Amino acid sequence: YTHIYTHRQSVAQSEVQEQSRRWYSVSHLSVQERIDRKRNAALIGGGQKRIDAQHKRGKLTARERVELLLDKDSFVECDMFVEHRCSDFGMEEDHNKFAGDSVVTGQGRINGRLVYVFSQDFTVFGGSLSGAHAQKICKIMDQAMMVGAPVIGLNDSGGARIQEGVESLAGYADIFLRNVMASGVVPQISLIMGPCAGGAVYSPALTDFTFMVKDTSYLFITGPDVVKSVTNEDVTQEELGGAKTHTAVSGVAHRAFENDIDALLNLRNFFNFLPLSNQDPAPVTECHDPSDRLVPGLDTIVPFETTKAYDMLDIIQGIADEREFFEIMPNYAKNIVVGFARMNGRTVGIVGNQPKVASGCLDINSSVKGARFVRFCDAFNIPILTFVDVPGFLPGTSQEYGGIIRHGAKLLFAFAEATVPKITIITRKAYGGAYDVMSSKHLRGDVNYAWPSAEVAVMGAKGAVQIIFRGKSNQAEQEAEYVEKFANPFPAAVRGFVDDIIVPSTTRKRICRDLEVLASKKQTNPWKKHANIPL
């Protein structure tokens, strides 16, 4: 892949070749002139023809992307003069040297808040990763960790710089290590804006959020050609690793956007939800939505028939500031809804069972999706709101064989270890082990509410009666008795497992008030090197 680029480069860059030769051979140029020339060369990356080709693919250049992502004139570039150090295969020639190599790095501001950015430049050697390229990325990551600011990577790279061999591989590992070290220290976001293949995929995988651009970005370990030769499968790039695959099937990516511009503007919007580091509080923005606003629609949203579905998103949008909810993984494991919103201007993470999909049950994928989100919120001081309507874990051989026990345990683990403010609202069913898992009082829930429609029980009436009154007739009557006793919020409320039974329309008001109280919450877990989450 990268070979082809090197070859094309030498043909297309004959003009630059002329010029760049002169830089080194002509001595009458002053240092200032040489600086200016280098800077200008860095600004056009692989040259106008490659820029045009990039545009033709519907993609923006690395610099255009940075400009869109950051506040106007806020970008401070770093390492513009860095060049690769490869001396094999003719790479040492002047025309194969590019100021800044195949990545643009630096820091800037998003709505005034600091962020470190790297943006891979596909116009230079297909954005392939050289030792120098990796070194540039590592430099800004180190700094980001020192000052406590997020790192955003804009990925558009053909892969390893094959000409550099192990140096390129070492570069990847250097980045991986920093991804791991920075994990839980500063938020890390990857936006895949072109190819990202082979070992390169592990950097986005290690970051907190991976977003993709529809139709122009791909993520895979091996491309369709290798797949064909190894497994004889016929598959297109899009099917194998396109945005649709990763947001709906594999769960690798958290969201996809229409095009480069849409993705970058949305990323700016998303950034406003995040704290700068684990030492900073979740941001509070100016809010025009009254914190005591009643939401009358919630009083009728839960249907009378316990088997009838409703949309949990209606509840979430109803209570959130300005109905704004930035959903994470909206197309994957849809039986659980996770994402960010604001309550009275304050960022919160919201987790909700989705009764509309598979009755909102917990299964392998939804548990893992929920767990990772909860851990992100906990790591970055973001309070967690949990809306519970869960009939239990999904039964069946495919789930058991797939390891629902250990995967379900991840969600349980995540909720239990979280020390950020945790507010739970049981809207309807909270059955069985899933009740415990969903941020229950027993897992250190700070405030747990039940709506009048809540039913906290080991299981639904029918199943319960079949066990309790096995073999006895008159099941209908016994079912009614069970319903009267258990299918309501009282058993949990009399034991203090829910703090109050609230009128649904007052939910927003209650949560806003509680969050204000809990803002100063301090809770620590026992000292440990790290916990051992059942991965």
Partner 1 sequence: MAAYMITSTLRRVLLVAKHASFQSRCCVASSRVQYSTVYDSNEKTFDKILIANRGEIACRVMKTCKKMGIKTVAVHSDVDASAVHVKMADEAVCVGPAPTNKSYLNMDAIMDAIRKTGSQAVHPGYGFLSENKEFAKRLAAEDVVFIGPDTHAIHAMGDKIESKLLAKAANVNVIPGFDGVVEATRVILCSGGGGKGMRIAWNDDETREGFRLSSQEAASSFGDDRLLIEKFVDNPRHIEIQVLADKHGNALWLNERECSIQRRNQKVVEEAPSTFLDPETRRAMGEQAVQLAKAVQYSSAGTVEFLVDSNKNFYFLEMNTRLQVEHPITECITGLDLVQQMIRVAKGFPLLHKQEDIPINGWAIESRVYAEDPYKSFGLPSIGRLSQYQEPIHLPKVRVDSGIQEGSDISIYYDPMISKLVTYGATRAEALQRMEAALDNYVIRGVTHNIPLLREIITHPRFISGDITTNFLPEEYPEGFKGHQLTSEGRRELVATAAALYVSAQLRSQRFLGNLRVSTTPQEQRQWELCVELEKGSHTVAVSRSGSTFTVEVDGVTVEVSGEWNLASALLPVTINRTPRVLQCLSRDAGGDITLQYLGTQFKVRVLSQLVSTLSAHMPEKVPEDTSSILRSPMPGSVVAVSVKPGDVVAEGQEICVIEAMKMQNSLIAAKAAKVKSVHCKAGETVGEGDLLVQLE
3 state DSSP class of 326 = strand
Question: Which residue lies nearer to partner 1 by CB, 21 or 323?
Answer: 323
Taking Cα atoms as reference points, which of 110, 113, 104, 109 lies closest to residue 155? 104
Minimum distance between the CB of residue 304 and partner 1, rounded to whole angstroms? 5
Applying CB under 8 A, which of residues 48, 87, 231, 285 lies at the interface with partner 1?
Answer: 285
Applying CB under 8 A, which of residues 12, 43, 44, 68 lies at the interface with partner 1?
Answer: 68
Q: Is the dihedral of CA 238, 244, 245, 251 positive or negative?
A: positive
Q: C-alpha distances in angstroms, 341 versus 153, 272, 338, 513, 535?
A: 23, 11, 10, 16, 28
Taking Cα atoms as reference points, which of 261, 212, 209, 207 lies closest to residue 241? 212
Q: How far apart are CA 346 and CA 381, in angstroms?
A: 11
Applying CB under 8 A, which of residues 103, 298, 351, 430 lies at the interface with partner 1?
Answer: 298
Provide the mask over 1-40, with x wherever binding to partner 1 is found by CB under 8 A and - wherever it is not.
----------------------------------------
Other residues' Cβ atoms within 10 Å of the Cβ of residue 404: 19
Applying CB under 8 A, which of residues 4, 18, 236, 297 lies at the interface with partner 1?
Answer: 297
Q: Is 484 in the site for partner 1 (CB under 8 A)?
A: yes
Per the residue annotation, which of 198, 241, 352, 360 is the catalytic one? 198
State both tokens at 116. 């470190």
Angle, to 10 degrees, between the axis of helix 461-468 and the axis of helix 475-486? 120
Q: How far apart are CA 401 and CA 3, in angstroms?
A: 44
Minimum distance between the CB of residue 291 and partner 1, rounded to whole angstroms? 11
Applying CB under 8 A, which of residues 35, 468, 503, 517 lies at the interface with partner 1?
Answer: 503
Pick the stretch among 61-69, 136-144, 192-200, 419-427 that binds partner 1 (CB under 8 A).
61-69
Token pair 């082809």 is found at 4
Q: How far apart are CA 41 and CA 15, in angstroms?
A: 12
**Residue 448 near residue 499, CB atoms below 8 Å:** yes
Per the residue annotation, which of 148, 199, 251, 345 is the catalytic one? 199
Pick the stretch among 17-25, 121-129, 313-321, 385-393 that binds partner 1 (CB under 8 A).
313-321
Pick the stretch among 24-32, 96-104, 439-447, 477-485 that binds partner 1 (CB under 8 A).
477-485
Other residues' Cβ atoms within 10 Å of the Cβ of residue 408: 25
Minimum distance between the CB of residue 295 and partner 1, rounded to whole angstroms? 8
Pick the stretch among 116-124, 236-244, 290-298, 384-392 that binds partner 1 (CB under 8 A).
290-298
**Residue 115 near residue 46, CB atoms below 8 Å:** no
Q: How far apart are CA 533 and CA 535, in angstroms?
A: 6
Question: Which residue lies nearer to partner 1 by CB, 59 or 407?
Answer: 59
Q: Is 352 in the site for partner 1 (CB under 8 A)?
A: no
Known catalytic residue: 463? no
Q: Footprint of partner 1 on residues 87-146 (CB under 8 A)?
A: 109, 111-114
Per the residue annotation, which of 99, 434, 450, 461 is the catalytic one? 434
Applying CB under 8 A, which of residues 268, 356, 444, 513 lies at the interface with partner 1?
Answer: 268
Known catalytic residue: 433? yes
Q: How far apart are CA 285 and CA 455, in angstroms?
A: 36
Beta strands 336-343 and 326-328 are: antiparallel
Question: Which residue lies nearer to partner 1 by CB, 82 or 343?
Answer: 343
Applying CB under 8 A, which of residues 60, 86, 219, 338 lies at the interface with partner 1?
Answer: 60
Beta strands in 322-415 (DSSP E): 326-328, 336-343, 346-353, 384-390
Applying CB under 8 A, which of residues 13, 42, 59, 212 lies at the interface with partner 1?
Answer: 59
Can you give the C-alpha Rg of the chain in angstroms? Answer: 27
Q: Footprint of partner 1 on residues 202-231 (CB under 8 A)?
A: 215-216
Minimum distance between the CB of residue 144 and partner 1, rounded to whole angstroms? 13
Q: Is 307 in the site for partner 1 (CB under 8 A)?
A: no
Applying CB under 8 A, which of residues 194, 443, 504, 515 lies at the interface with partner 1?
Answer: 504
Known catalytic residue: 370? no
Q: Is 345 in the site for partner 1 (CB under 8 A)?
A: yes
Token pair 């973001």 is found at 382
3 state DSSP class of 213 = strand
State both tokens at 3. 């070979």
Q: How far apart are CA 257 and CA 341, in angstroms?
A: 19
Applying CB under 8 A, which of residues 266, 278, 331, 359 lies at the interface with partner 1?
Answer: 266
Per rule CB under 8 A, count of chain residues that contact partner 1: 67
Q: Is 288 in the site for partner 1 (CB under 8 A)?
A: yes
Token pair 């293949």 is found at 197
Minimum distance between the CB of residue 13 and partner 1, rounded to whole angstroms? 22
Applying CB under 8 A, which of residues 30, 304, 397, 496 lies at the interface with partner 1?
Answer: 304
Minimum distance between the CB of residue 323 and partner 1, rounded to whole angstroms? 8
Q: Is 72 in the site for partner 1 (CB under 8 A)?
A: yes
Per the residue annotation, which of 12, 433, 463, 519 is the catalytic one? 433
Q: How far apart are CA 461 and CA 484, in angstroms?
A: 10
- DSSP code of 160? B
Q: Is 391 in the site for partner 1 (CB under 8 A)?
A: no
- DSSP code of 161? -
Q: How far apart are CA 339 and CA 337, in angstroms?
A: 7
Known catalytic residue: 352? no
Q: Would you tell me which residues interact with partner 1 (CB under 8 A)?
A: 55, 58-60, 64, 67-68, 71-74, 109, 111-114, 215-216, 258-262, 265-266, 268-270, 272, 276, 280-281, 283-290, 295-301, 304, 306, 311, 314, 317-318, 321-323, 345, 452-453, 461, 480, 483-484, 487-488, 503-504
Residues acting as catalytic residues: 198-199, 433-434
